[in-house]
Amino acid sequence: MQKDFKYTKESQVVISELMLPSHSNFNGKIHGGYILSLLDQIAFACASKHSGAYCVTASVDTVDFLKPIEIGELVTMKASVNYVGRSSMVIGIRVEAENIQSGAKKHCNSSYFTMVAKDEKGNSLSVPGLILNNDDQVRRFAKSIKRKNMKTKRIQEFHETDFSSEKYLHILKDHKAKIELDS
């Protein structure tokens, strides 16, 4: 039987993985695509744990690569449910890398994945609400609402019907764009 509400800690997931040379890019740093794959996996695990159902990635709202990850570092990802809607969940993920020899840790990445719970037929499922029991959890929930509202506004702006170039000239003036319109 599914609970109506769950504590954040009930769905938290932590994974650690040693970064190998096979995970690196041409610059000798860990490839961002590899980290994105791990982020998607932990977001799935966290959302599925919260919902008790199969979950799909609806969107990757933010991925901020803050510091490079080196070969040989131990990467730890911490995921928790920051927000829930009817069938969707925003999973916040913090990525830290640790130099195993020195013990030095660095915050390398923060990400927000929107996941949706699905049934066997692919229909969206209702998910339990969140019990927020500290200031950080309240802040994360509120920030998720702000990000959701900003995303809705951004989508509305992109669906405008007036795309005449004159409307956007003021936006371009301070950027590296040379305008040569055909007459």
Record the tokens describing residue 6, joined without a space: 């769950």
The whole-angstrom distance between residue 7's C-alpha and the CA centroid of its chain comes to 20
Cα torsion angle, 139, 47, 97, 37, sign: negative
CA-CA distance, 131 to 117, in Å (whole number)? 19
Cβ contact 54:96 at 8 Å: no
Q: 56 to each of 23, 165, 166, how far by Cα in Å?
A: 25, 38, 40
Q: What is the pLDDT of residues 126-179, one digit of tens each?
A: 999 999 999 999 999 999 999 999 988 988 887 776 666 677 777 777 888 777
Domains detected in the chain: 5-162 (3.10.129.10)
At residue 162, the pLDDT reads: 64
Q: What is the pLDDT of residues 53-111, one digit of tens each?
A: 999 999 998 898 999 999 999 999 999 999 999 999 999 999 999 999 999 999 999 99
Q: Tell me the pTM.
A: 0.87
